Amino acid sequence: MRLANGIVIDKEKTFGVLKFSALRREVHVQNEDGTVSEEIKERTYDLKCNTQGRMIQVSVPATVPLKDYDYNAEVELINPVADTVANANYRGADVDWYVKADDIVMKNKSNLGENVTPNHDKTIANRNK
Q: Per residue, what are the HEC states of the chain?
A: CCCCCCEECCHHHHHCCEEEEEEEEEEEEECCCCCEEEEEEEEEEEEEECCCCEEEEEEEECCCCCCCCCCCCEEEEECCEEEEEEEEECCEEEEEEEEECCEEEEHHHHCCCCCCCHHHHHHHHHHCC
Top-tier CATH class for 7-127: mainly beta
| Cα–Cα distance list, 53 to 33, 47, 48, 100, 121 (Å) | 42, 11, 8, 19, 30
List the chain pLDDT tens, one digit each, 129 residues.
455 667 888 889 999 999 999 999 999 999 999 999 999 999 999 999 999 999 999 999 999 999 999 999 999 999 999 988 889 999 899 988 889 999 999 998 644 444 444 444 433 344 344
State pTM to two decimals.
0.75
